[in-house]
Structure 1
Amino acid sequence: MIRILVALWVWLVFMPLANANLLSELQSGSSLIIMRHADAPGIGDPPGYRIGDCSTQRNLGEYGRQQAKEIGAWLSKQGISEARVFSSPWCRCLDTAVLLNKGPVTAERSLGSFFNEMSESGKQTRELEAFVRQQLSKSNKLPLILVTHQVNTYAYTGMSVGVGQMLLVKVNSQGKAISSRALN
C-alpha cells in the first residue's frame, strides 16, 4: 500500500512537469502528437464496411465521444487551443478529431487503418513518414495532431496504445519517429 501511495504521489508531482513544455515541444518543428481514436466498442470493422459510410463502420460510443471531449479539454489545459489536426478517414477517427475541438480536421489517407491488410504496414508507414516530414517542414508553428488506429501508431512508433491514448513523438528530418512517450 505504501508503494502505491508513493507511486501516486510521484505521478501527481512529476506528471505535470513532464507535460509543462508540451506546447513548446510541439512548436519546435520536430515533435507531434499521434493518438488512437477514442473508445469505439468492438474490434475491427464489420464485413463490407465502406470508408465513406459511417453506418457501415465501427463508431465511437457515448463513452468515446465524452473521452474525446475530455482529451481536448486536457490539451487546452496544456496550452494547446488550436492545432493542425489530421485524421484517418475512418469515422471513429474523424469524430475523435472533431471532438478534440482544436480546429479544422483534414482526412489523411496515410493515417487510415491497415488492420485488414497488414501487408500494407511498411508501405503505409513510409507514406506517413513522408507526410510528417512535409507537415513539420512548414513554418507553421501550430501543433500537429494525428488521429489514427492502434496498428498505425504501433507501426510508426513501436508503442502499443489504448483507446484515446496520445503519444508525444520526436521525429528526425525524414519524418521517422525516433522517440515517443505517453501523454495520458
Structure 2
Amino acid sequence: MRHAHVDMRAGIGHLAPGNCAEEVNLSPGGMEQAKRIGEAFRAHKIAVGEVLTSPYCRCIDTGTLAFGRATPAQYLRPPGTVSEDQAKSNRQRMVQEILTHHGPSNLIMITHDLNIADLVLEGTVSMGEFFVVQPKGTDFDIIGKIQLNNR
C-alpha cells in the first residue's frame, strides 16, 4: 500500500525518516483517508496481521490511523533515498517478506509509489492505493488493486 494523501512539496523523499517536524506528513484528507481504509478492512472483516511501514512518518501514521499499529522497516524506504545496491536489496527483501508470509491474517506493507510501481510493474500508484497480492512459488500474483480517494 502507498501511504495516504500528503500535500506534495519539493524534497519530499530526501529528508531523514522519523523526523516528523521536517518531513512531509499526511494532509487532513490523508488522515481521514487512512481511517476510512481501516474502517473498510474492519467492515469487510479482513484479518490484519503485521503492519510494516517505511520509516517515514507519513507511512507510520497511515498504519497507525488505519490499523492501530505500525512497525517501521528500513527496507521499505523509497529507492531514491538509498544507494542503488541498497534499493535492489530492499526490493528483494520486500519480495521475500511477501513470499514467506503465512497464516490466517494478512501482511500489510505501507511504503512509497516507487517501491510499489517497481514491484507490481505499475506506472503510477496513487496515495492510499493498495495492491492485494498472493504468494505463488518464487513470485506472486496480483489479485486486485483498491483505492479509496482522499475526499
TM-score relative to the length of structure 2: 0.83
Q: Deviations over 1:147-183 (max 9, x none)?
A: 1100000111112310001111122233x33334212
Q: 1:132 to 1:62 in 2, by over 3 A?
A: same
Q: Distance in 2 between matches of 1:180 and 1:44?
A: 34
Q: 1:96 to 1:47 in 2, by over 3 A?
A: closer
Deviation at 1:83, TM superposition (A): 2.7
Match of 2:96 among 127, 130, 133: 130
Task: Give the number of equivalent residue pairs.
Answer: 145
Match of 1:154 among 117, 142, 146: 117
Deviation at 1:46, TM superposition (A): 4.8
Identity of aligned residues (%): 24
Higher helix share: 1
Q: 1:116 to 1:169 in 2, by over 3 A?
A: same
Q: Distance in 1 between matches of 2:131 and 2:8?
A: 23
Structure 1: segments with no counterpart, 5+ residues: 1-34
Deviation at 1:57, TM superposition (A): 1.0
TM-score relative to the length of structure 1: 0.69
Question: What is the correspondence of 1:32-181 to structure 2 with a 5 Å cutoff?
Answer: 35-43=1-9, 45-46=11-12, 49-80=15-46, 82-101=48-67, 103-117=68-82, 119=84, 120-134=86-100, 136-137=101-102, 140-159=103-122, 160-174=124-138, 176-181=139-144
Work out whether residues 89 and 112 of structure 1, in 8 Å CA contact, stay in contact via their aligned partners in 2.
Answer: yes
Deviation at 1:116, TM superposition (A): 4.1
Q: 1:88 corresponds to which letter in structure 2? A: S
Structure 2: segments with no counterpart, 5+ residues: none
Q: 1:156 to 1:169 in 2, by over 3 A?
A: same
